[in-house]
Structures are given as C-alpha cells and as structure tokens.
C-alpha cells in the first residue's frame, strides 16, 4: 500500500519484557481516506459474490487461523502480555463464529417472502438485507482477535468490505489477521488495516465509511458517536461494564467461587464482561468467601510461563486499579486478599475487597484489573437491586440451583450467564452487546449479521385489487366498504 504516513512510527512494547515488539505506520487522515476509497471499490466486487462464494472464502480463512493458532497466539501474548495459553484459547473461540456467520448469512439475510394483509392480498411482499458497503472496525487491545473479529467476520459475511483500526497496543495482531485474509482473498482489498493512535481512529470515523463498529470505553464511544454524527454514520458501540455475579443460598459454591475468580481475574481482569461485583446471599456468604479466597490465592500474576495472570496491558490502567482499591479501603472496605500493596509495576496480584460502600469507585467505575468486590445481601431481591444500580448494563452471572433464570430475568443487562461465566460469547447464535453506558447494537448471531446491513423491502402487485385504494379514481362506495371491513377486522378490540 502506498501511504503518506506520518514521520514517526507506532512503537509497540511487550508488557512482559518492555522489549520492542514491532513498529507500525501512523496513518494520517489522508491515508485513511485513501484506504476507505480502495475499500469502496472492493466492496462492490465482494457484494457481487454469492453468499456461498463468500462463505467458501471465510471457511478457508477459518482454516488458516486454526492451523496457525500458535503463531497468532504468540503475537497476542507478546502485545498484550496475557498468558500464551489464554491467547490461544481466545483465537480458538473465534473459529465457531466464522463458521456460523458464513453458514447462516444466506438464511438470515437472503431474500424471503413477507406476509400480506387482507387489503393487500394482491401483493407479493419480500425483504432482504443488503450490505452497507464499507464498515470501519475500531478494536480494543484486551481481546484483539476475538472482539474485532466479532464485527469483522459478521460484516464480511453480510457482504461488506472492512477497514480495521486495531488498538495502538495490538497493531501486530491486526496486521496478522488482515494478512491472513489477504492470502485467501488476494483479488481485492476486502479487509484492510490502518494503524496509529486515537487520531487514526477518529479519522476513520470522519471518513466515508458506512458504519463504525467500536469496542472500547464509554467515553471514547461518545467521541466516536459525535464524529460520526457529522455524516450521519451509524455506529454499533460495545463499551465496558461493571458486571455483577449473584450467588443464591442454594448455589453450588465451589462452582460459583471458581467462576467468580475466572470471571474477575482471567486476562488480568481486563474483560468487558469481566466480573467486578459479587453479591452473595447472607446464608452462604462466609462459606462462599472462604472458597473464593482459596481459589484466588492460588492464582499469581507474573511474567513467567507458570503465572496464571499476566501484566496489565495498558500502563495507565495500573493507576486506575490502584485508585479503586485505595478508595474502597479508605471508605471502610477490607482487602481480604491483595490490596494496594499487591501492585508492583505492571503486575497486580489477585485482590478481593469486602464491605465496600456502593458509591466507592471500586463499585461504580470499570476497574479492568484482577479485583473483585464481595458484598453480603439479605436475599436475591437486594442482590438484584444492587446489581442494577449502575449506569452500565453489559453482562451478568447468577449462581442458583432453583431460580437462576428467574433472577437473571430481573437484571438490566444485555446478557446473562446462569451457573457459569463467559458462556454466552462462545455461542455464535447469541447476540452480544449491552444497554445504557455499555453501548448499543449487537455483534454475533442473526442480529450481529443484520447490524451490518440495511433492510430492503419489495412489494409487487400481482393483480389489480377489487378495491382500488391508492388512486384518485377511488369511489365513495369503496371508502364505505373499506370502513366496514376495517371495523369488522379491528373494531372488536
């Protein structure tokens, strides 16, 4: 690609070692516009292929990722610092999504008949979902494979070209994915990469893309939305959360403790759907807390291969984590494990806080670290009330033998896991996304395919209707008859 990149290059350093992991172009707004123009041309070709032809290419892309999983995981490990095995798991979980999107796109988006009413019985109606054109995907660093591909793959399966701007922390991962796709689809630049910092992302929002799929913080989502407003470019926003986990009195406490530790501390707690707040029924609070601390104390943050928790990817995040823990302790909370002195450089050891007031930043803001707050509640009514007392509404988890789903139904969020954590993103047919400060729109599932399309309706008149309605030649007799029919049909309600 010929570009007029800025003189400086983006330097990526390994959070594990501080070593240089790679340098990448700092693409300017002019570069971004040029890439989007190339994508526009490619989009026409890609949209002109059949669903089957696109599926065949996406399936081969899936094969490449599967065969080179360890190579991809190596780059993710180096750029994010997460354990290599976790990086490989992240990449593996994307494979089912690619298969599902490729296979289901024709069924979900293809032309199908739509029903007609009594007065329109002479019409043949149909609807189909057409690609928007060029989709800009702005990705995060915490799951640099799984999260952006959740938009990219569904947008591609729907027939769009994509311009991908990975986080400045993970451009190498983005380059690998785009390179692998180009091997499968060499004819046209259907999936392209732009790299740089936030200004490159901002340029993508202001370019002539037809939609932006954004994953990141709520604050940046607002900037993205404001920039996109200038051209009325729609966005799907997958922002953060403050996900609760509820433990009822009849829950399997071992399973709940194990899940809470994984939900809160896997990927060093840097998950949008990470568990941050735990609400436990008073009857089982002590027993649960004991088990939770036991499981968490067996995890260790480090840079060696045996560490289960890697370093914090983004250097500034360490201060956010420290501030939240300090605020919890200053307001009367207790660190039953870890605490502020569990932070050393980029490493944060597992931290469990109890007795934290609900207005502490540890309870209200996204911490994005391996920390959990645990709160004793009278019953599940109180748990639901406290869980819902946040502007966020991404995911939630409930552990209960009898009433898990009922409790889950009362939670204000986009996704609920019952007796598990992180299960719903693994199921490709399930839409993923939140409400409130957690964003809007959906990736994954049928909704995730339709998100990158527009509905197009056709109504074909098959024969002249006995009652001609849309003509100036309509008679008073017709009007009287229509009034009578409509009263008969709807008047009884």
Residues found near ligand NDP in the complex (CB under 6 A): 138-142, 165, 167-168, 197-198, 201-202, 205, 215-217, 220, 223-224, 238-240, 272, 314, 317, 366, 368
Smallest separation, CB 358 to ligand NDP (Å):
19
Give the residues across from 124 on adjacent strands. 460
Considering the complex, state which of residue 31 and residue 168 has its C-beta at the smaller distance from ligand NDP.
Answer: 168
100: how many CB neighbours lie within 10 A of its CB? 21
d(CA 43, CA 91): 26
Where are the strands (E) in 68-111, listed by range?
Answer: none
Considering the complex, state which of residue 251 and residue 309 has its C-beta at the smaller distance from ligand NDP.
Answer: 309
416-425, long-range: CB < 8 A, 24+ apart: 419/251, 419/252, 419/255, 420/259, 421/245, 421/259, 421/260, 421/262, 421/263, 421/275, 421/397, 422/262, 422/263, 422/266, 422/271, 422/273, 424/395, 425/93, 425/146, 425/150, 425/273
Considering the complex, state which of residue 23 and residue 122 has its C-beta at the smaller distance from ligand NDP.
Answer: 23
Candidate list 78, 272, 276, 451, residue with the active-site label: 272
Instruction: Judge contact between 459 and 124, C-beta under 8 A.
Output: yes
Instruction: Judge contact between 91 and 72, C-beta under 8 A.
Output: yes
d(CA 211, CA 221): 14
Smallest separation, CB 205 to ligand NDP (Å):
5
Burial class (CB in 10 A: 0-12, 13-18, 19+), 368: buried
Smallest separation, CB 139 to ligand NDP (Å):
6
Considering the complex, state which of residue 159 and residue 244 has its C-beta at the smaller distance from ligand NDP.
Answer: 244
Considering the complex, state which of residue 168 and residue 248 has its C-beta at the smaller distance from ligand NDP.
Answer: 168
Which of 380, 384, 350 minimizes the C-alpha distance to 367? Answer: 350
To the query of whether residue 238 is one of the catalytic residues in this protein, the response is yes
Greatest pairwise CA separation for the chain in angstroms: 86
Considering the complex, state which of residue 320 and residue 467 has its C-beta at the smaller distance from ligand NDP.
Answer: 320
d(CA 12, CA 171): 8
d(CA 209, CA 228): 9
Tell me the CA distances in angstroms from 386 to 194, 225, 244, 297, 368, one per residue in order: 42, 30, 9, 27, 20
Q: Which residues contact 341 (CB under 8 A, 6 or more apart)?
A: none
Smallest separation, CB 408 to ligand NDP (Å):
21
Phi, psi of 357, rounded to the nearest 5 degrees = -60, 150
Considering the complex, state which of residue 438 and residue 453 has its C-beta at the smaller distance from ligand NDP.
Answer: 438
Smallest separation, CB 321 to ligand NDP (Å):
9
Smallest separation, CB 428 to ligand NDP (Å):
19
* Strands of the 453-461 sheet, one edge to the other: 112-114, 123-131, 453-461
Candidate list 90, 238, 276, 366, residue with the active-site label: 238
Considering the complex, state which of residue 78 and residue 248 has its C-beta at the smaller distance from ligand NDP.
Answer: 78
Smallest separation, CB 173 to ligand NDP (Å):
12
Instruction: Judge contact between 428 and 97, C-beta under 8 A.
Output: yes
To the query of whether residue 228 is one of the catalytic residues in this protein, the response is no
Smallest separation, CB 483 to ligand NDP (Å):
54
Catalytic positions are 238, 272
């Amino acid at each position: 690609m010929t570009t007029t990149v800025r003189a400086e290059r983006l330097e990526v350093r390994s959070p594990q070692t501080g070593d240089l992991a790679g340098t990448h172009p700092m693409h300017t707004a002019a570069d971004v516009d040029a890439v989007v123009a190339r994508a526009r041309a490619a989009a026409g070709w890609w949209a002109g292929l059949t669903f089957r032809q696109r599926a065949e290419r996406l399936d081969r892309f899936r094969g490449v990722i599967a065969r080179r999983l360890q190579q991809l995981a190596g780059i993710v490990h180096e750029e994010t610092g997460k354990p290599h095995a976790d990086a490989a798991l992240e990449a593996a979980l994307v494979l089912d999504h690619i298969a599902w999107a490729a296979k289901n796109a024709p069924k979900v988006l293809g032309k199908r008949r739509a029903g007609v009413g009594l007065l329109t019985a002479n019409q043949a109606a149909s609807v189909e979902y057409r690609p928007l054109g060029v989709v800009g995907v702005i990705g995060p660093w915490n799951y640099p494979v799984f999260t952006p591909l959740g938009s990219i793959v569904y947008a591609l399966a729907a027939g769009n070209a994509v311009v991908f701007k990975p986080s400045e922390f993970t451009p190498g991962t983005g380059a690998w994915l785009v390179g692998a796709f180009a091997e499968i689809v060499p004819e046209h630049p259907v999936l392209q990469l732009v790299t740089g910092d936030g200004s490159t992302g901002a340029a993508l929002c202001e370019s002539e893309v037809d939609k932006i799929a954004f994953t990141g913080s709520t604050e940046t989502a607002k900037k993205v939305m404001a920039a996109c407003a200038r051209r009325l470019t729609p966005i799907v926003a997958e922002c953060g959360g403050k996900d609760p986990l509820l433990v009822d009195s009849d829950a399997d406490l071992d399973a709940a403790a194990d899940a809470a530790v994984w939900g809160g501390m896997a990927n060093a707690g840097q998950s949008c759907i990470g568990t941050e707040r735990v609400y436990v029924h008073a009857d089982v609070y002590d027993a649960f807390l004991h088990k939770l601390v036991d499981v968490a104390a067996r995890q260790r943050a480090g840079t060696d291969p045996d560490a289960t928790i890697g370093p914090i990817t983004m250097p500034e995040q360490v201060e956010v984590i420290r501030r939240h823990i300090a605020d919890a302790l200053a307001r009367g909370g207790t660190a039953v494990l870890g605490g502020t002195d569990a932070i050393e450089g980029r490493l944060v050891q597992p931290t469990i806080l109890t007795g934290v007031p609900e207005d502490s930043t540890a309870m209200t803001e996204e911490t994005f670290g391996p920390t959990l707050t645990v709160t004793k509640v009278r019953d599940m009514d109180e748990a639901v009330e406290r869980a819902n007392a946040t502007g966020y509404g991404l995911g939630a988890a409930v552990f209960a033998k009898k009433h898990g789903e009922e409790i889950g139904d009362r939670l204000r969020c986009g996704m609920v896991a019952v007796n598990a954590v992180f299960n719903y993103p693994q199921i490709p047919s399930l839409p993923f996304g939140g409400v409130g400060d957690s964003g809007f729109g959906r990736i994954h599932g049928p909704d995730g395919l339709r998100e990158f399309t527009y509905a197009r309706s056709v109504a074909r008149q098959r024969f002249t209707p006995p009652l001609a309605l849309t003509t100036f030649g309509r008679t008073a007799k017709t009007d009287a008859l229509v009034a009578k029919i409509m009263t008969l049909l709807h008047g009884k309600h």
